[in-house]
Amino acid sequence: MKYYKGMDVSTLLEVERCGGKFFDQGKERELLSILKDYDVNAIRIRLWNHPYSEDGDPYGAGTNDFETAKKLLRRGKELGFDILLDYHYSDFWADPGKQFVPKAWRGYSVEQLEQAVYDYTRLTLSELLKENLLPEMVQVGNELSNGLLWPTGRVPEYDNIARYVKAGVRAVREVSRLSGREIKVMLHLDNGGNNALYREWFDNFTSRGGDFDVIGLSYYPFWHGTMDMLIDNMKDIAKRYKKDLIVAEVSMGYTMEDYASFEKLSKEERKGMATRQELVDKIEYPMTKEGQSNFMRTLMERLEEVPEKRGKGFFYWEPAWIPVPGSGWATESSLQYIEDKGPCGNEWANQALFDYQGNALPALEAVRDYKP
């Protein structure tokens, strides 16, 4: 498998609609073209089943429905990017703290949910095949550390977890065979520095006959431990499961300067930066442009330590989510769906690979110059 220098650009269309612009060396350019020139070779696109309220209000954060995914796929394919399509199997964010069943699947039995995962995956991939937009890799579920489709698929219900995930994998395999093209299957957990988590989850899945190609890990240094912990975990699971590994989500901040003036929200409406100071004080790299660049360079270098060259790269999470009015992590409608009190706003702008005005940062040069 090739080495991926990837970027998750799921909010791109929304940022553009809200007036976001991107610049490289002072010249305004289209975002994906800039990334291409910095040796990025893949993009990751998340997919939510129906990110709208029952009244049709969009959920925000990219409102990544199937039509949005197709638009991003098409733009990526036109520039020659490989695509990782990230199925959340939810109408909004799915992660270790929330795995809400899509509204259309509420009340389903375990058997019905298993069939729904298969049908939805098969239907969407079949449509992509017709439009010549098949991804090179599919992520069956997002940050599955605590399962999916709660409550029936919540850890420790590993029998149900395996049923749901295997249904998605089966659909990917069938469309792959029909297309005559290989589509890799990734299974993705969070907390990449937690070896016990990965052993427990993948031991349970593989013991139930689970089939997959790639293990994806999230690694955010302010949440998930040291880089030593990440690499030690990757070394162990590479030997244990004999699969290729990709850091499917990673980021590092470049500043702690506030960006409230760019969002144009009141203090009560803003959630603020995910990188709270008490978290930043614990990480190994300074939150500066140089610190961000050094972090990325070190990550790429240390992936070489994974045995049998199984460290196959990374996908930087939302490098282009710059602070523009109207693009935040949630809306009032989506907060109701995920039972969250909010507030909204952009939590991520100080971790992008473009500054608040949309200028490319030095970390992209580190990505460009690294040769695996």
Strand partners, 245: 215, 311
Mean pLDDT of successive 10-residue stretches along the chain, which has 372 residues: 97 98 98 98 98 97 98 98 98 98 98 98 98 98 98 98 98 98 98 98 98 98 96 98 98 96 92 92 94 98 98 98 97 97 96 98 98 93
Q: What Å distances lie between residue 196 and 76, 179, 193, 208, 254, CA to CA?
A: 36, 38, 9, 19, 31
Contact 254, 312 (CB under 8 A): no
Domains in the chain, CATH or no CATH each? 4-369 (3.20.20.80)
Question: Is 290 in the active site?
Answer: no
Distance CA 18, CA 12 (A): 10
The pLDDT value recorded for residue 317 is 98
Phi then psi for residue 185, to 5 deg, are: -110, 125
Q: Pick from 3, 2, 1: which is nearest to 300 by CA?
A: 3
Cβ partners under 8 Å of residue 101, min gap 6: 90, 108, 113, 149, 150
Question: Is 143 in the active site?
Answer: yes
Strand partners, 23: 28, 359
What angle do helix axes 195-207 and 227-241 make, rounded to 10 degrees? 20
The pLDDT value recorded for residue 282 is 87
Q: What Å distances lie between residue 98 and 85, 94, 185, CA to CA?
A: 20, 5, 22
165: left (phi over 0), alpha (psi -120 to 50) or beta: alpha
Distance CA 161, CA 145 (A): 10
* Catalytic position from the list 143, 263, 318, 347: 143
Using the Cα atoms of residue 317, residue 86, residue 2 and residue 225 in order, give the sign of their dihedral: positive
* Catalytic position from the list 67, 111, 127, 249: 249
SS3 sequence, 28-62? EECHHHHHHHCCCCEEEEEECCCCECCCCCECCCC
| 283-288 contact pairs (CB < 8 A, 24+) | 283/221, 283/222, 284/221, 284/226, 284/227, 285/221, 285/252, 287/252, 287/253, 287/254, 287/255, 287/256, 287/350, 288/254, 288/255
Contact 118, 167 (CB under 8 A): yes
Contact 70, 119 (CB under 8 A): no
